[in-house]
Amino acid sequence: MKNKILKKLGLDGSNFLLSVTIGLFAVMYILGVIIYQNQGFGRMQTFLNMLIDNAGLIIAAAGMTVILIVGGIDISIGSVIGLVCMMLAYFMQIMHMNAWLAIVLVLLFGLVFGAMQGFFISYLKLQPFIVTLAGMFLCRGLTAMISANQIAITENKTFLALANYNIKVLIGATVNKRGVKMYPFIHPGVVIALVTAFIIWYMCKYTRFGRNLFAIGGNENSAMLMGINVRRNKFLAYVLNGFLASLAGFVFCLNTTSGFVEQARGFEMEAISSAVIGGTLLTGGVGTVVGSFFGVLIKATIETFIRCNGTLSSWWNKIVLSALLCFFIVLQSVFAMIK
């Protein structure tokens, strides 16, 4: 009976959880505009800054969504991002390597690392949590071996030009005190993140590989009976996730222009929470990159609340996110019982 009611409302499947996520973001953002209007919360640039600051997380959350859909987990993403940042900084600042060559090398590393973890998980049947835990320790250790100190990228003009390049947005312009029209802007990392999220969304929704991932996450045995090569598809999912983790590291480095051992620590939990808040089930088989994108926006909105308030501790971000995560996990359990 409850299932029929949800279907009549058009809220069956992941649409129900996605609707809750989008509604929550809309309410939070509108409240921010009302409460912190004088602090510029409602300005276009404030919203775009949310995308700029979280471009790397958008990509990481897209990769995590793919892994959760297939019924896996990856807790090594933060360490991979930290290692990629350190590699980029070392290549360009210490070895004086060409920026584009350094970027290609770290992206190739992500593919190889994802393939390694995917092989252990899909073909050797090892537990994803254990394999990615080992991967987390490995990448963090390799980061420390490259350098125990922070390496700032200060000499590579190509990378710095890319990091500081402003792409003007032709809507939401404001006029400053001197009468000059100021256009809001984004950085190249935001474009990379949005294009990547769109590609992963399209892949999951409209390609055979994407449909296979949902089938495997829903029930592996049924997927095998349908003729789906479960091992190969899970392997490819982790390869894709490894590439996206390295891409997220590159975009993350565009914001920080440096590498250090503790960089992106805990980032994997932010990616998981963004995906779960966005409606992706931890049990697999249900999820969407659109929801994960709005999960990232919810996190960014909370951070903007804290900055505009000026008196709240930054730890409130963790507290609110943990409460929301618990809420959505409970909501998923309720949804699982009535769907």
Mean pLDDT, residues 146-167 taken together:
94
Q: Per residue in 166-193, pLDDT tens?
A: 999 888 777 777 777 788 999 999 999 9
Q: Per residue in 75-100, pLDDT tens?
A: 999 999 999 999 999 999 999 999 99
Phi-psi region of 40 (alpha: psi -120 to 50; beta: other; left: phi over 0): left
**What pLDDT was estimated at residue 119?**
97
Give the count of alpha carbons within 13 A of 107, CB side only: 10
**What pLDDT was estimated at residue 256?**
93
**What pLDDT was estimated at residue 11?**
52
In three-state secondary structure terms, 78 is helix
Residue 190 CB partners (closer than 8 Å, separation 6+): 48, 51, 52, 55, 167
In three-state secondary structure terms, 36 is coil
Mean pLDDT, residues 275-295 taken together:
91
Query: DSSP state, 165?
Result: -
Residue 4 or residue 75, greater confidence: 75
The answer to whether 77 and 243 are in contact (CB under 8 A) is: no
Q: Which of 180-184, 187-191, 279-283, 316-320 has the highest mean pLDDT?
A: 187-191
**What pLDDT was estimated at residue 172?**
75
Alpha-carbon distances, residue 136 vs 75, 106, 108, 129, 256 (angstroms): 7, 16, 18, 10, 21
Closest to 193 in 3D by CA, of 244, 129, 240, 258:
244
Mean pLDDT, residues 305-311 taken together:
82
Q: Per residue in 238-256, pLDDT tens?
A: 999 999 999 999 999 999 9
Mean pLDDT, residues 278-283 taken together:
88
Look over the chain and give the mean of its residue pLDDT values, rounded to a whole number.
90
Confidence of residue 227 (pLDDT cuts 50, 70, 90): very high
**What pLDDT was estimated at residue 337?**
64
User: Can you list the alpha helix ranges (DSSP code H) found in the chain?
Assistant: 2-8, 14-35, 44-53, 55-69, 77-89, 99-118, 128-146, 157-164, 188-206, 208-218, 220-225, 230-256, 267-277, 289-309, 315-338
